[in-house]
Structure 1
Amino acid sequence: MIAAPAPADGAAWRIDLPASKFTSLSQYRVGIWADDDYCRVDSATRGLLDQVARLVRSAGATVDDRSRPVELVISDRLFQSLMYATGSASASDEAFAADCKAADALTDDDPSALYLKSRTMRHRDWARADEDRQKLRGRWADYFAEHDILITPAAPTAAVDDQTSVPSPQRYITVDGERRSFFDQTSWINLAGPVGLPSIVLPAGTTSAGLPLAIQIIGPYLSDRTLIAAAQQLARILPTPAAPPAFTA
């Protein structure tokens, strides 16, 4: 990795990402995180992850499906808290004051508490949350000292129906017949971004109803080229992705 000095002409900084050191899937140490109590996936998604594990093993890779870099519940709630805090920057003074008043009236177990109390947190609380994020980064670094990539679900289900016309509090997803929060869709892909890690979502087959399924591949800091190489090699052995529907005018 080479970080070039800032050019005199004011051009953007450039980082030369290291090339992938792997030429075959058999060289990878692969972690697989197929499911989690915090955000259970449906049977089709779990079946896909089980299939991916078998295919990766058959390709000769070393597979670890037991180790976990972080706790999904802690990581996701921290992500949400930091995201809501950042979102308050665009609020008007009047709107922010109203949010502060509403947050002060809530108990911690209120369904709206995480959103409003995070959105109005004091700088001291934000600094503590950011410190927790740095600790998560350290745990990820320890994990990737012994693993080259981690494969997870991209979402708990296949693609869901468009619900943009439905008011946000009424939106939901269904996981094996259980109605769940619409925003559970992002819990798995929220893993990498807050800690600055690269990730790729790779199409990987379909459900029995023809809906597209996908997996997520996460790698260590600045391993973007390694992830791309892994995705290319995985694409050769994974189920064929769903074809987009034919367009009719």
Structure 2
Amino acid sequence: ELPAARHTAFRDFRVLVIDTDPVMPTDTAVRGTINRLADNLAKSGVKIERSSPLLPDFAASSRLYMRMLMSFLSSTFAPDIYAGAKAAAASLPEGDNSLAAERLRGIALSHRDWQAANAGRTRLRAQWRELFKTYDAVICPVMPTAAYPHDHSLDQETRRIKIDGKEHVYPDQLAWPGIATLPGLPSTAIPTGFAPDGLPIGVQIVGPWLEDRTPLKLAELIEREFGGFAPPPSFND
């Protein structure tokens, strides 16, 4: 049975707020809604911090997440697709640590290397456990932009998404949901407003392992105090 939420009032919550990272930058609109939420929470009595040495390295955990994610997904690949990806992974430069390279390596991950990756995930879980001795929740992006046009072209690695006008590799967006997915942490996504073009923006509240009710309670308090879901303006026409 899951434990009760750690707190029931804003004044008792200790929250770490992260609005972007060089590995997967967020656009101006996303950062703006996160910063506005952080300011509102601070005014309501929440203890807010904007950085901490306890936070696991986002670049390292994102690379690990991409490897383990693709190791799982590639188990269903057709033999010819798998063979081609394996050959491509073998030809990667040793120093290429881009998220795209890690996805390719993940497809060809041996059982030995998967065990090493899993050990890395165990260490990551221990880091998060230490962090949640100081904080009750982490508020961070769930995606780097507002709602975006989906690209269904065949090769995902050639797809691009624009963040503040600059192109980024489409699948790299998975780094933000991966922050909770890889260590198995509960995450509650909440709406935080709209981009200038009227498209919705959200963030995630990440909580301690098995303490799902803590981010849910914080989300409930935020909705009660600042408002929750509202249909995008164009839906009201």
Q: TM-score by structure 1 length?
A: 0.85
Q: Does residue 1:40 correspond to 2:25, yes or no?
A: yes
Tell whether the 8 Å contact from 2:156 to 2:171 is kept in structure 1 after alignment. Answer: no
Higher relative contact order (CA 8 A, sep 6+): 2
Q: Figure out how many residues of one structure are paired with residues of the other and give that number.
A: 233
Structure 2 stretches lacking a partner, 5+ long: none
Displacement of 1:103: 2.9
Name the counterpart of 1:230. Answer: 218
Name the counterpart of 1:187. Answer: 175
Range with bigger deviation, 191-200 or 236-245:
236-245
Q: Identity percentage over the alignment?
A: 31
Range with bigger deviation, 97-106 or 70-79:
97-106
Say which one has the larger Rg: 1
Displacement of 1:86: 1.4
Matched position secondary structure for 1:157: coil
Name the counterpart of 1:220. Answer: 208
Q: Greater helix percent: which structure?
A: 2
Displacement of 1:152: 0.3
Q: TM-score by structure 2 length?
A: 0.89
Change (3 A) 1:183 1:237: farther
Tell whether the 8 Å contact from 1:157 to 1:213 is kept in structure 2 after alignment. Answer: yes
Q: Does residue 1:138 correspond to 2:119, yes or no?
A: no
Tell whether the 8 Å contact from 1:198 to 1:219 is kept in structure 2 after alignment. Answer: yes
Whole-angstrom distance in 2 between the partners of 1:210 and 1:239: 17
Q: Which AA in structure 1 matches 2:40?
A: L
Whole-angstrom distance in 1 between the partners of 2:39 and 2:182: 30
Change (3 A) 1:118 1:184: closer
Q: Which AA in structure 2 matches 1:66?
A: S
Whole-angstrom distance in 2 between the partners of 1:95 and 1:84: 13
Structure 1 stretches lacking a partner, 5+ long: 1-15
Equivalent residues in 2 for 1:15-164, closer than 5 Å: 16-67=1-52, 68-93=54-79, 95-108=81-94, 109=96, 113-164=101-152
Q: Does residue 1:178 correspond to 2:166, yes or no?
A: yes
Q: Which AA in structure 2 matches 1:84?
A: M
CA distances 1:15-54 after superposition (whole Å, capped 9, x unpaired): x111114221111011111121211111111111111111
Tell whether the 8 Å contact from 2:20 to 2:26 is kept in structure 1 after alignment. Answer: yes
